[in-house]
Structure 1
């Protein structure tokens, strides 16, 4: 059987589809599995015995990919966009499984109820029920070998033990205030390694650690840095899920979002604000009240207490 798995969302979303990959490979060992995602999947999903189809969501590319995927018998899509529904429909794949909250959900042959109360890993696994699969592998998994870990330790002269701080997000309203991050950095006992993308280098200069790697790592190096750490502390963003997929506990500091959406750490813990306006939305762009109170609601001492509890 040829099965297509489609997830063209962000890094963290793809990490949380790895339980789908693992469960399909375990239950259908003879299946040929193809994964369509953004170009970063080539590095992120290294080590999986599957075919990877990078897709940049270009207009012409959307027509071209139909030809590349039409030979599959089954398509499974955790992604809920209109583009995804249309491409899968026009591919002619006979069995197409998606969520009932997907845009143009009527284009799927099988619709699974989307349940916010489930963790995203569990929610995605529900998409396998129309295939008769009910024995699930829940844990996300990414592959980083010891050689990769040693290379980043040498390249960045990392300490033997350290905590990774990931203060930035694609959605600014998901970020805890920089003042709080600096307070946390100052008071945590272990050395701190700060990570982030190139567009946040200027803001990251406020951190005092000698291991400020913001803008300095590629994706494989970031995974190796996270995988060699003792703990990851992050806003509601992909490093949380990368950490768990590499066997590292993580703490999520929620601001405008919430654990209710199902993206909390499976290993570690989380802290969230309790405000009349919380939570805002899964991917908020504008503060509904204009107060930005959620960015200050969780206090650094709360994060420190949780970090020490997990580390001990």
Structure 2
């Protein structure tokens, strides 16, 4: 039997599908498994026994990918876009399992209720339950060879379990806790090194932070695999609602999420660690907010840094 998993959303969303892979491997040890995702899956899934099908969502690519989907028996589809549904409809895959919140649910042969109150891992596993699979693996997982891990820490002059990783940035600015609060947090973390991570596009913002407080700046300086190793070696990850939280948990590291315009109620909270909900009366907006509905941006300054520091104490 050949399974196809389709999740072309962001990095964190893909990591939260790893229990799907592990559950299929457990229940169908002889099955072939392929994964369709953005090109970063080549790095993320290094060491996995998967057929990787990178997909950049281009128009012509949406037609050409149909040739790659021939021969699969089952498609498991957490992604809910119209493009995904249409590709599934014309794929010829006989069993296609998707959510009722898909933009075109009729493309699927098996439709599962999408419930916001569940963690994303549990929502995804509901797709397999629809096929009668009962032996479920809930833990996320990312493999990493010890040599790769040690070499990366050495490259960045880091000592295992002697630093904290902070991720202040996001693909969605309304998920970013204020730099004032991150400044106060870093200043208060005395006696332990702080490593700040982010993408090359975050370099201007990290320079503002660097003008206020000292830390080890790895923003835009790591590959995905290097970021994974840096996170694997830390004591705890402090982050907004973003992928480093899920990278950490998949590598056995606790994470603490600070919510601004989003909420743990959407199901993307840490599986290991803690979180701070936002007290602003207008929060949450949506899972991926693109504009402030009130124009006040009040949630970005809340909660105060002291509340995060109180939570972090138990992990240090």
TMscore range, shorter length = over 0.9
Corresponding position of 1:84: 84
**Scaled by the length of structure 1, what TM-score is found?**
0.98
Partners of 2:256 and 2:304 lie apart in 1 by: 13
Corresponding position of 1:196: 198
Unpaired segments ≥5 residues, structure 2: none
How far did residue 65 of structure 1 move?
Answer: 0.7
CA-to-aligned-CA distance 1:156-190 (integer Å, 9 cap, x gap): 11244100000000000000001110110111132
Partners of 1:217 and 1:102 lie apart in 2 by: 35
How far did residue 48 of structure 1 move?
Answer: 1.4
Please give the residue correspondences for 1:176-255 in structure 2 after superposition, counting only pairs within 5 Å.
176-189=177-190, 190-205=192-207, 206-207=209-210, 208-255=213-260
Provide the alpha-carbon RMSD of the alignment. 1.0
Please give the residue correspondences for 1:295-306 in structure 2 after superposition, counting only pairs within 5 Å.
295-306=300-311
Unpaired segments ≥5 residues, structure 1: none
Could you tell me whether the CA contact under 8 Å between 1:159 and 1:191 is conserved in 2? Answer: no
Partners of 2:154 and 2:297 lie apart in 1 by: 40
Corresponding position of 2:314: 309
Please give the residue correspondences for 1:1-312 in structure 2 after superposition, counting only pairs within 5 Å.
1-160=1-160, 161-189=162-190, 190-205=192-207, 206-207=209-210, 208-311=213-316
Partners of 2:237 and 2:151 lie apart in 1 by: 20
CA-to-aligned-CA distance 1:261-299 (integer Å, 9 cap, x gap): 000001000001123212110000110111111111111
Partner of 1:91, secondary structure, is coil
C-alpha distance 178-18 of structure 1, shift in aligned 2 (>3 A): same
Partners of 1:204 and 1:276 lie apart in 2 by: 29
> Runs of at least 4 residues of structure 1 off by over 4 A?
none
Partners of 1:228 and 1:69 lie apart in 2 by: 38
Partners of 1:210 and 1:178 lie apart in 2 by: 14
Aligned residues: 311
CA-to-aligned-CA distance 1:39-98 (integer Å, 9 cap, x gap): 000111112111111111111111111010121011010000000000011011111000
